[in-house]
Structure 1
Amino acid sequence: MQSRFQTMSDSIVTKIDEMGNRIDELEQSINDLRTEMGVEGSPSPSVPPKVKEEPKPGDDSA
Structure 2
Amino acid sequence: MAETDPKTVQDLTSVVQTLLQQMQDKFQTMSDQIIGRNILYLYSRIDDLEKNIADLMTQAGVEELDGENKIPATQKS
TM range (shorter): 0.5 to 0.7
Structure with greater proportional strand content: 2
Q: Tell me the TM-score normalized by structure 2.
A: 0.53
Moved over 3 A (4+): none
Aligned pairs for 1:1-62 within 5 A: 1-39=24-62, 41-43=63-65, 49=69
Structure with greater proportional helix content: 2
Q: Tell me the TM-score normalized by structure 1.
A: 0.64
Aligned-residue CA RMSD (Å): 1.7
Structure-1 separation of matches of 2:60 and 2:34 = 39
Q: Which runs of 5+ in 2 are unaligned?
A: 1-23, 70-77
Q: Which runs of 5+ in 1 are unaligned?
A: 50-62
Matched residues, number: 46
Percent of matched pairs sharing the same residue: 28
